[in-house]
Amino acid sequence: MSKNQKKPLISLIVILVATVALDQVTKQMAHHELLEDAFHEKTDEYPACGSIQEVMERERFIRRYRDNVAVIDGFFDLRYVENCASAFGLMGQVPESFRFPFFLVVSILAVAFIPYLYTKTPANQRLMLYALPFVLGGAVGNLIDRLVYRYVIDFIRWYVVIDGEEMQWPTFNIADAAIVVGIGLMLLQMLPRRGKHEEVGAAS
């Protein structure tokens, strides 16, 4: 592979912008289409991401006015959720006074570090290069939510019913999915390449 190979900067910018745009548009659609009008009229009466009691009251309020849309019956539906924690609901029990500034700082550091990592990644590591805008786009998408709402809007729910009992994956969004795709590409980049091993074997 040529040492003068250039990094696909334009393609990476397109992936980044498309990821953030798709994430924000779908979240706004979920916010408006999966909630009844009464929710928007009364939402200020139930603070989000407050004390444990306030969080429980907010969740009951959301359940009262949200609509579930079945995409694949018995497996996939759309359901509005406000996530004050991290991706897939992690650290949900941590006090908000610590959780919000913690996730805000972590998100900002990630958004600042990923472009730096891009500059240090060799041009021949194509999967790594394409992974970074997915991760960055996901981080930016969720950071926008935290800055605007203090919580992240989730709406994609996967579940299965086994012996009458429903088991579900934590509700997520496009930003979370983009981060997972990016991490997957990074892992693929780390796998040993067959061609390199064959070249080493042939030279020995």
pLDDT in tens, 81-138: 999 876 555 555 666 777 778 888 888 998 999 999 999 999 999 999 999 999 999 9
**pLDDT value of residue 42:** 95
Beta strand extents in the chain (DSSP E only):
69-72, 76-83, 152-162, 165-168
pLDDT digits (tens, 9 = 90+) for 178-190: 999 999 999 999 9
* Averaged pLDDT score across all residues of the chain: 88
**pLDDT value of residue 202:** 47
- Point out the least confidently predicted range of 3-12, 126-135, 169-178: 3-12
**pLDDT value of residue 165:** 87
Q: Residues 144-150: what's their mean pLDDT?
A: 93
- The catalytic site residues sit at 154, 176
**pLDDT value of residue 171:** 93
**pLDDT value of residue 200:** 45
pLDDT digits (tens, 9 = 90+) for 43-61: 999 999 888 889 899 999 9
Most confident of 81-85, 138-142, 165-169: 138-142
Q: Is the dihedral of CA 44, 47, 62, 18 positive or negative?
A: positive
Q: Are 83 and 153 in contact (CB under 8 A)?
A: yes
Q: Per-residue DSSP letters for 41-100?
A: HHGGGS-SS-SHHHHHHHHHHHHHHB--EEEETTTEEEEEEEE-SSGGGTTTTS-HHHHH
pTM (two decimals): 0.85
**pLDDT value of residue 4:** 63
Q: What does the alpha-carbon distance between residue 133 and residue 114 come to, in Å, rounded to a whole number?
A: 8
The residue among 99, 88, 115, 79 whose CA lies nearest residue 176 is: 88
Q: What are phi and psi of 49, to 5 degrees?
A: 55, 45
Q: What does the alpha-carbon distance between residue 152 and residue 81 come to, in Å, rounded to a whole number?
A: 8
Q: Any residues with CB less than 8 A from the CB of 83 and at least 6 apart, and which?
A: 89, 92, 151, 152, 153, 154, 171
In this model, does residue 149 exceed pLDDT 60?
Answer: yes
Q: What does the alpha-carbon distance between residue 72 and residue 81 come to, in Å, rounded to a whole number?
A: 19
Q: What is the DSSP-derived secondary structure letter of residue 2?
A: -
Which residue reads 């998100």 in tokens?
A: 107
